[in-house]
Amino acid sequence: MSNDNPDELERLRATGRVVADAIRAMRAAVAPGVTTGELDRIGARVFADGGARSGPQLDYGFPGATCISVNDEAVHGIPGPRRLRAGDLVKLDVTAELDGFYADACVSVAVGRTRPSLLGLIAAARHGLDDGLRAASAGVPLHRVGAAVEAAVRQRGHRVCRELAGHGIGRRIHEPPTVPSYADAEATERLTEGLVMTIEPIVSAGSGEVRIADDGWTVLTTDGAPSAHVEHTVVITSAAPLVLTA
Ligand code: MF3
Ligand code: CO
Ligand code: CO
């Protein structure tokens, strides 16, 4: 959506706060031995306490309140009985709807003591998001945001999963435009003031190619390489974007 209304902006901010609160609570519970289902229930409780609903459930009938993906699971992992182990890399991707407005964010968390290479992968995703945010101001064509994201990721020796992209958001989870994490030549549309969208590099230590698992939801790296994912929902301005999910 494009927002130019202070009341709607306040409601978007409120949804962003619920998403940030849910991620904070879930992240605090990440430890060896905890199941992804337990983390999901923590997120679901924060939604309920804030009067919010799960975006993935509402829009897609997703079988969980949040998407929790581990190691080679890039996105849309289904929470369940899987127990996290030291050395795992878990992605907490949280989308809430409150009062008709959506916000979406993701963090990547190392479980217990982790190999330095996984921390480097997470750092590559974070730098990609940071540089994408810095590039994202009104008037800039979308491919320039993607170029900034991918350059930061590749500089650290990793690849973006090009099949996975950010998106407009607001009244639904997924709205136009598509926000690629690379310099997609077709992404010529220019950002406009008030545009609400996500930036969300999904990066891999391998080829960056992905496939859908047999469960019909989980997106895996085809080569089994671990992946990291970070995401914020932002409002575009003439200067730095306003981050709703910080
Ligand atoms: N949070 C996801 C995103 O960043 C959307 C998940 S919706 C699902 O785009 F139903 F596919 F899980
Ligand atoms: Co998301
Ligand atoms: Co998203």
Pocket lining: 88 vs ligand 1, CB cutoff 6 Å: no
Q: What is the pTM (predicted TM-score) of this model?
A: 0.98
Q: Is the pLDDT of residue 147 over 90?
A: yes
Segment 174-207, tens digit of pLDDT: 999 999 999 999 999 999 999 999 999 999 999 9
Task: Locate the ligand 1 atom nearest the alpha carbon of residue 76 and give its number.
Answer: 12
Supply the DSSP string of 176-231, one letter for each residue: EEEE-SS--TT--PBP-TTBEEEE--EEESS---EEE-TTSS-EEETT---EEE-B
Q: How far is Cα 38 from Cα 58, in angstroms, rounded to an integer?
A: 20
Pocket lining: 60 vs ligand 1, CB cutoff 6 Å: yes
User: SS3 of 80, please?
Assistant: coil
Average pLDDT of every residue of the chain: 98
Give the ligand with the smallest distance to the CA of 105.
Answer: 2
Pocket lining: 76 vs ligand 1, CB cutoff 6 Å: yes
pLDDT band at 51 (very low <50, low <70, confident <90, very high): very high
Segment 94-113, tens digit of pLDDT: 999 999 999 999 999 999 99
Segment 152-169, tens digit of pLDDT: 999 999 999 999 999 999
pLDDT (mean) for 218-231: 98
Pocket lining: 104 vs ligand 1, CB cutoff 6 Å: yes
pLDDT (mean) for 76-99: 98
Q: Is the pLDDT of residue 114 over 90?
A: no
Q: How far, in Å, from the CA of 95 to the mean position of ligand 2?
A: 6
